[in-house]
A and B are shown apart, each in its own frame.
Chain A
């Protein structure tokens, strides 16, 4: 029977993947904000 194993995101680089994904989302938002269409959409 398999037991549940806790995955530490600090050791598995999970945090780095999360950081990368959040950066991509924030980057798109930043570009839209700079272009001036941020306020119209959100």
Chain B
């Protein structure tokens, strides 16, 4: 036991170069963010945010939670493809994707605590303090918690390998398929549940973005958001940890992910078009809101969809990576439009995030990347299945 404690303590020591561009940028951001959070928790939300009674949900909910959870959608898709559909090609990225999903939920859903006026009440939906069993927020709160546990179970074999706990690893490996199926079920419901939160706000959301099908749109878009995030995250990991991965196999994985992204974006685009026609929104696209909507749907959905398809057909990785960035920007635009930009669109004074809100969001992202980097440089996250069997 003391040997394990000594090992864990030795793993806590920093590794690699200290003065990297990421460290130089992220450390001041995180220090400033901690200072802002101190003011937020001592003086209240009003001291550091531009939130008001008119705009109770701002950048922290719109970006950190609503957008961040969509970006984390890659974990449930890849685990479904690998463990349920048995497509072994993607096995090499399943651990990194699950880790990314787990950390995204811990940090982005965890950012909810920052935004609650009374953060200590966050436990209420879990202990069932008779607050709205029928509410969507109740479902989302429980799903976030259960999904984090499911992802922790999925990732636990890596943790066990790191500590050399082979018996524990065998037990947790046996639970993986159950955790994956449970996780997929939860994901389909809470990805759409996040959209369902906005069904209550029909009178407040611009009609171009409001639809009774928001839950379906949120779920459909989480598929290509997750796939695009894996492509970008995989590209960065490939450059930073390139000695650990096989280049050719990685390229094939990216082409496969891009194919999935193209198909899911096409389906999503069809849903958007059908809803647009069904709701007779032709007259709404003549003003600035209409132009912004068309930019989102055509420029950040249809264009990246075509780029993904072209990139797959002609095997152009560069085009696929640009398409993934555009697709992610499209998700950011869509989620922020619904939750912030086109929310209360008739209000005389509109909400804009304060610089403190943006710094805290950057702090959350930086902290997640620090933890991700710490884990992948110590635990066998990028090892291939062959290397894992050799280790046992």
Instruction: Answer whether residue B270 sits at the interface, using C-beta atoms and an 8 A cutoff.
Output: yes
| Contact bitstring A1-37, B, C-beta under 8 A = 1, else 0 | 0000000001001011001100100110011011010
Q: Does B266 contact A (CB under 8 A)?
A: yes
B143 at the interface (CB under 8 A from A): no
- The reply to whether the CB of B137 lies closer than 8 angstroms to some CB of chain A is no
Instruction: Give the tally of cross-chain contacts (CB within 8 A).
Output: 32
Q: Point out which of A23, A34, A36, A38 has the most chain B C-beta atoms below 10 A from its C-beta.
A: A34
| A10 adjacent to B313 (CB under 8 Å) | no
Task: State the Cβ distance, A42 to closest chain B Cβ, in Å.
Answer: 13
Distance in Å from the Cβ of A38 to the closest Cβ of chain B? Answer: 8
Within 8 A of A (CB), among B263-314: 263, 266-267, 270, 273-274, 277-278, 280, 309, 312-313
Nearest-CB distance from A36 to chain B (Å)?
7
Q: Which of B262, B263, B266, B273 contacts A19 (CB 8 A)?
A: B273
State the Cβ distance, A18 to closest chain B Cβ, in Å: 9
Partner-A contacts on B (CB < 8 A): 259, 262-263, 266-267, 270, 273-274, 277-278, 280, 309, 312-313
A-B contact pairs, 9 of them (CB 8 A): A10-B280, A15-B277, A16-B274, A30-B266, A30-B309, A31-B263, A33-B309, A34-B262, A34-B309
Footprint of B on A, CB under 8 Å?
10, 13, 15-16, 19-20, 23, 26-27, 30-31, 33-34, 36, 38
